[in-house]
Amino acid sequence: MQIEQLIAKMTLAEKIGQMSQFNGMDGEISEEFKEKIRKGLVGSVLNEVNLHKINEIQRIAVEESRLGIPLLIGRDVIHGFKTILPIPLGQAASFNPEIIKEGARMAAIEARSSGINWTFAPMIDITRDPRWGRIAECLGEDPFLTAVLGPAMVSGFQGDLGSKGNIAACAKHFAAYGAAEGGRDYNTVTVPENELRDVYLPPFKACVDNDVATFMSAFNEINGVPATGNEFLTRQILRDEWNYKGFVVSDYESVTQQVVHGHTPNNKAAAAQAVKAGVDMEMVSTSYADHIEELLSEGVITQQQIDDSVRAILNVKFRLGLFSNAQTDPSNFPEWVNDEHRAVAKNAALQSLVLLKNDKNILPLRSGLKDIAVIGPLADAPHDQLGTWVFDGDKKHSVTPLQAIKEQTSGKAVVHFAKGLENSRSKDTSGFSEALEAAKRSDIILLFLGEEAILSGESHCRADINLPGAQELLAAELAATGKPFVTVILAGRPLTIRNIVNTTDAVIYAWHPGTMAGPAISDILFGKEIPSGKLPVTFPTHVGQIPMYYAHKNTGKPATSKSWEKIDDIPADAAQLSIGNTSHYLDEGFEPLFPFGYGLSYTMFDYSNLKLVETRVKMDNPVQISVDVKNSGDYDAVEVAQLYVRDLYADRTRPVRELKGFRRVFIRKGETLNIQFELKSQDLAFHNRQMKKVTEPGQFQVWIGGNSNAELTAFFELE
């Protein structure tokens, strides 16, 4: 009722103001901007973090504007605010929605204490291309996993939205941004509708079901129409099919970028297209403010469309409690980067670390080591360990691996540190001699490699995803010493690390782990904690294999290890034959370096006794599946048991495997745990040739194991 009363009182200019977001003031408020707020011409402010200034503009909006409508204050709070969590891709490696939720809750409290009430997260774009810089910001390649973790992040940010310390979340980018051609940011997306609906949209639907407050449109065009002007996406799917009641904001200037795409001839037409598509608020560019009044008078857009947008925006402001109190009192919130928040960040980092190799059980490090070499450009890089898209975190709060290892070994061992390279991109090998000297004096080498934070993130795409600079050369020279050798990689994406894996005894993939990177890594290295992370994305062996993802189609000529005709085995003057050929690369085969879901532990988990309660199941009945998992090693530890399914014959061909369930379980050494899964018929649904979502009767195969290459299998028939 209050919203309708407000809308009835609003002038057209004030309505357009609600639909307009302005860039931040860098702590300065001009008289011109104050006057805009007084006139009700500003609905939201982006990227202002000075609390005094935020409180002042909120005061002006509430006390000096005609209708007293408060402002939305937006900020990219992506993986922490002041206390920085692992990058979202790293968080996804935890396979733990509770960790995601807890981290978002902590970030929301810190952000809200600064006057921020709206974040542009979670990013739930599915991508199968690690060249794309923004893979760091997403939750991986799998729609099922992302559809679990994305809503968990929404819950952490929003909670009961009107309560203290909560902020509005934003599901982005709608849609298929992660399918950008060639992994180049902002690029063209061409994707069939059934794939759009089955792969790229499910995480967004899951966030709608979890009451996410806002959506953001994407930069990319999709099938020839820019997402920001795409009525099919925003009107038909989001509004009509999903009945979404929140509001949609454009990405940064993406309304006027429709002109650059070649979709509209000018900004006026771009504004018309975006309004008609259902984009409620324009970020930074001013085509709405400049043209909506004229477009309305010409009958190009309707009053109903404008009122619907304003209604949705005001509803979020009411839900946030801004009409009751738009001011922020920092004394109502805990200090930033406090011990509790550090513990949250450390726990998230611990669960994100993925053990990729551990020859001869070199890890955890044995007691009694007297001299330890800590080498590499990322061993003591407090800025780079924070990762991409960190606007408000400060490296002074970072605890680096070098610092943590020194603290862990204080009084027990001597740590010999050498950077070897000035940074991850450096090709200057003059520091190698110091690194080699440190290695020769030590019982073990701990080498920290990867990519700097600036090498991933928005617009930071890479065609070559090997380790940059001379890092591989440094590793090779250290390996030649014959010393036991552990490599920890800090990066914002999967890198092609075959040479490193072949060179070193153990490999931990740490992503960019955030503020508490050092203590988390050190605890894993020394066995105070047991690694449990699993890869949320496939690691290719070579960049030329991309796109490479586990849920691919089978093709009519699927490759096998026996069918791979290796390039070096082909004799000269060989006859060109097609008989027996399969789908693979002569030089790199068809398998990844590491599959989706992969991650080792310091213990061993044995899967057995896979059972289905029934092998012939009626359509409306759930499929009950169980498996025994035994911890046959020497450590109590956590395993992520994963359930995969294949629909063997369908109206549209289905992927060779799809993740349909996972359980993160703690199992004591020697203990066997029976783990239960349940598949419902809707879990097996897909979009058929008529674009209807259906579950077809027929034969299905299931696998349960520790990664997407699980071998323990069974079959059932759905009747």
Rounded Cα–Cα distance for residues 156 and 171 (Å) = 13
Q: Could you tell me if 601 and 635 are in contact, meaning their C-beta atoms sit under 8 angstroms apart?
A: yes
Tokens matching residue 440: 């020769």
In the chain, what is the straight-line distance between the N-terminal and C-terminal CA atoms, in Å? Answer: 50
* Residue tagged 């690691």 (tokens): 539
Calculated CA dihedral for residues 689, 695, 701, 704, nearest 10 degrees: 120
At 224, give phi and psi (nearest 5°). 95, -5
Q: Which of 300, 288, 295, 204 is nearest to 253 (CA)?
A: 288
Q: How far is CA 294 from the centre of its chain?
A: 40
Q: Which residue numbers are catalytic?
A: 251
Q: Which residues contact 438 (CB under 8 A, 6 or more apart)?
A: 373, 374, 375, 416, 417, 418
Q: Which residues contact 560 (CB under 8 A, 6 or more apart)?
A: 582
Q: Are strands 713-718 and 616-617 parallel, antiparallel or unpaired?
A: parallel
Rounded Cα–Cα distance for residues 536 and 678 (Å) = 22
Q: What is the per-residue DSSP string for 375-424?
A: ESTTTT-TTGGG-SS-SS--GGG---HHHHHHHHTTTT-EEEEE-SSSST
> Measured between alpha carbons, how far is residue 714 from residues 116, 619, 662 in Å?
51, 18, 17
At 45, give phi and psi (nearest 5°). -125, 135
Q: Could you tell me if 505 and 359 are in contact, meaning their C-beta atoms sit under 8 angstroms apart?
A: yes
Please count the other Cβ atoms lying within 10 Å of the Cβ belonging to residue 678.
14
| Exposure on the CB side of residue 605, measured as CA atoms within 13 A | 31
E strands within 5-76?
A: 20-23, 44-46, 72-75
Q: Are strands 623-631 and 672-679 parallel, antiparallel or unpaired?
A: antiparallel
